[in-house]
């Protein structure tokens, strides 16, 4: 008999609950967010995972705040690391007992975009639009992984297997970041053009911003500057060697000039997204275009902007009608005049996760320390969401079976 499943469920703006949830099967059943065309979809190419670790993401927080069109009853969680406990009929290479990282992008491995390594916009896993993810609004209705168990489709293509389980469990707090946050931050730094000697400005000192800053260091940046409004998060950025600026003090360019001697950087990363606030005297007011316009101002001509921060097509909590559909007052003319390159969209995790795994295993980076990974139980997840919403400088790692604590 299958074990009981429990998961973190979105109940409406500001509220999540840990509830008993359906045990996963190799069929996508009707439920919150599931497209009608996907109901009954058979997934014999999938596996069932016993969750080892699953993380709370800033993208989850957007939904929980009520800033998306996420349906009530959605099982949350797209950052998943687990042990394979059941293998579908059509799986060839993944075996029961394997310890694996699950990219948050659900990709078929067969469509044009997947074959071009654009796994964030798979054409086959979501009937409504390109791209799918676990437990996320508009991403196909696949049940999320902030739970005890989850089904992962197209397992042979999607899963990254750790070759040595004992070694992996010894570094599980770092390796759990491979499902999203570390590749996403790395993607932001890479697409901003970060290389040896670069000067980099990262807007936002939440977990993705901290991951982007650590990734920029890994890529060889000479100076990494992180901007935010929350002192605790800025202190966390300084803890691993970043310079910081408090954007409530005013224009980031002036503070960057105090550090670099010039108000410009080579590379700009937006790790904030659509809930951005103003700078200086407007720091308390939401102004969603602020970060993008600021980055265009402070990134040198010919530079690039990596934009891993989330922007949405539907925001019921936005200040005006335009922003409710994702239309912002962006100074695209400034970006054009400076010949900026912009890269947006979901990170294609599989493009980076294997190399970042090796960097972790060979002690080339300490991503868990950089983002202040903090282990909590499944039952503590609602409190984790509340603390994260208040700006805690932590990356909450849910340990539903006590396996992370046991390894530590």
DSSP helix/strand/coil, 192: coil
Question: Of 3.30.413.10, 3.90.1170.30, 3.90.180.10, 3.40.50.920, which CATH number belongs to 5-180+348-407?
Answer: 3.90.180.10
CB proximity list for 34: less than 8 A, separation 6 or greater: 28, 140, 141
pTM equals: 0.96
**Which residues lie closer than 8 Å to 364 by C-beta, 6 or more apart?**
218, 358
Burial of 308 (0-12, 13-18, 19+ CB in 10 A): buried
Domain residue extents for the chain: 5-180+348-407, 182-343
User: What pLDDT sits at residue 2?
Assistant: 59
3-state secondary structure of 204: coil
Say what angle helices 181-191 and 207-218 make with each other, to 10 degrees: 60
The domain 182-343 is placed in CATH, from the list 3.10.580.10, 3.40.50.1220, 3.30.565.10, 3.40.50.720, at 3.40.50.720
- The reply to whether domains 5-180+348-407 and 182-343 share a CATH topology is no
Are 289 and 327 within 8 A, CB to CB? Answer: no
Asked whether the beta carbons of 252 and 298 are under 8 A apart, the reply is yes
Is residue 366 within 8 Å of residue 191, measured between CB atoms? Answer: no
The single residue listed with the structure tokens 């282990």 is 375
* Predicted local distance difference test score (pLDDT) of residue 1: 42
Q: Put the strands of the sheet holding 265-270 in their side by side order.
A: 243-246, 223-228, 199-203, 265-270, 299-306, 341-343
pLDDT tens by residue, the chain, 408 residues: 457 899 999 999 999 999 999 999 999 999 999 999 999 999 999 999 999 999 999 999 999 999 999 999 999 999 999 999 999 999 999 999 999 999 999 999 999 999 999 999 999 999 999 999 999 999 999 999 999 999 999 999 999 999 999 999 999 999 999 999 999 999 999 999 999 999 999 999 999 999 999 999 999 999 999 999 999 999 999 999 999 999 999 889 999 999 999 999 999 999 999 999 999 888 888 888 999 999 999 999 999 999 999 999 889 988 889 999 999 999 999 999 999 999 999 999 999 999 999 999 999 999 999 999 999 999 999 999 999 999 999 999 999 999 998 877
Q: Which residues pair with 151 in a beta bridge?
A: 48
d(CA 75, CA 329): 34
- pLDDT for the residue 110: 97
């Amino acid at each position: 008999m299958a074990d009981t499943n429990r998961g973190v469920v979105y109940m409406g703006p500001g509220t999540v609950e840990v509830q008993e949830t359906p045990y996963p099967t190799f069929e996508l059943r009707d439920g919150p967010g599931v497209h009608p065309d996907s109901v009954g979809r058979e997934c014999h190419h999938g596996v069932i995972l016993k969750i080892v670790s699953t993380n709370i993401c800033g993208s989850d927080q957007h939904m929980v705040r009520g800033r998306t069109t996420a349906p009530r009853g959605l099982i949350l969680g797209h950052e998943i690391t687990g042990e394979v406990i059941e293998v579908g009929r059509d799986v060839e290479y993944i075996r029961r007992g394997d310890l694996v990282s699950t990219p948050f992008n659900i990709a078929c491995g067969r469509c044009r975009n997947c074959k071009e390594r654009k796994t964030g916009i798979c054409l086959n896993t979501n009937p409504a639009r390109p791209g799918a993810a676990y437990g996320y609004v508009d991403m196909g209705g696949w049940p999320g992984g902030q739970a005890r168990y989850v089904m992962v489709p197209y397992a042979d293509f999607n899963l990254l297997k750790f070759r040595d389980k004992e070694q992996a469990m010894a570094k599980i707090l770092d390796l759990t970041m491979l499902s999203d946050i570390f590749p996403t931050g790395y993607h932001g730094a890479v697409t901003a053009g970060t290389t040896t000697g670069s000067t980099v400005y990262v807007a936002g000192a939440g977990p993705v911003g901290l991951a982007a800053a650590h990734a920029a260091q890994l890529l060889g940046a000479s100076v990494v500057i992180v901007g935010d409004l929350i002192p605790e998060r800025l202190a966390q950025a300084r803890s691993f060697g970043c310079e910081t600026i408090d954007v409530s003090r005013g224009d980031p360019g002036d503070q960057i000039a105090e550090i670099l001697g010039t108000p410009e950087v080579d590379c700009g990363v937006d790790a904030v997204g659509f809930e951005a606030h103003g700078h200086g005297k407007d720091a308390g007011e939401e102004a969603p275009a602020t970060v993008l316009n600021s980055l265009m101002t402070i990134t040198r001509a010919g530079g690039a902007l990596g934009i891993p921060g989330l922007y949405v097509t539907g925001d019921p909590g936005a200040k005006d009608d335009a922003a409710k559909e994702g239309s912002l007052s962006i100074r695209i003319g400034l970006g054009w005049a400076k010949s900026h390159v912009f890269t947006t969209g979901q990170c294609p995790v599989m493009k980076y996760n294997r190399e970042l795994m090796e960097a972790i295993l060979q002690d080339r980076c300490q991503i868990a320390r950089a983002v202040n990974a903090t282990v909590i139980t499944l039952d503590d997840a609602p409190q984790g969401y509340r603390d994260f919403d208040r700006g805690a400088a932590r990356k909450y790692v849910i340990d539903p079976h006590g396996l992370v604590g046991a390894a530590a």
